[in-house]
Amino acid sequence: MKKLYNLKMKEGTSVTEHLNAFNIITNQISSVKIILYDEIRAILLMCSMPENWENLIIAMSTSATTRALKFDDVNSTLMNEELQCKSIVENQGGEAIALADHGRRMDRGR
């Protein structure tokens, strides 16, 4: 249980890697007959995220005020957020490459 409570996603770690570590620990806990209810797993996962994910965590917590949090919902939201962030970074990189290429073409013409 101590491993689970102390688990924090490190900067530069992907959500997938973090979820794998989280699931390994929760499976070990389940193997010794300790029951982690779905909502508890969801809360522990949210608590294990770094501070730069805080806005998303608050949004998920707030949206769950009328219903119980579900681990699968939290899991998929975190995965989707990471994919969106990667997509934005890739698009920004693509624009920078296009601008850099454009600049080279102008220099060649002179």
The residue ranges of every structural domain in the chain are 2-109
The position carrying tokens 């490459």 is 97
List the chain residues with pLDDT less than 50. Answer: 96-110
Longest dimension (CA), the chain: 74
pLDDT (0 to 100) of residue 106: 40
The whole-number pLDDT of residue 62 equals 86
- pTM for this entry: 0.77
CA end-to-end distance (rounded Å), the chain: 67
Alpha helices, DSSP H, located in 1-110: 2-6, 15-31, 38-47, 54-63, 71-109
Between CA 34 and CA 82 the distance in angstroms is 31
7 close to 74: Cβ distance less than 8 angstroms: no
Burial class (CB in 10 A: 0-12, 13-18, 19+), 68: exposed
The average confidence (pLDDT) of the chain is 84
pLDDT confidence of residue 109: 44
What's the confidence (pLDDT) of residue 100? 41
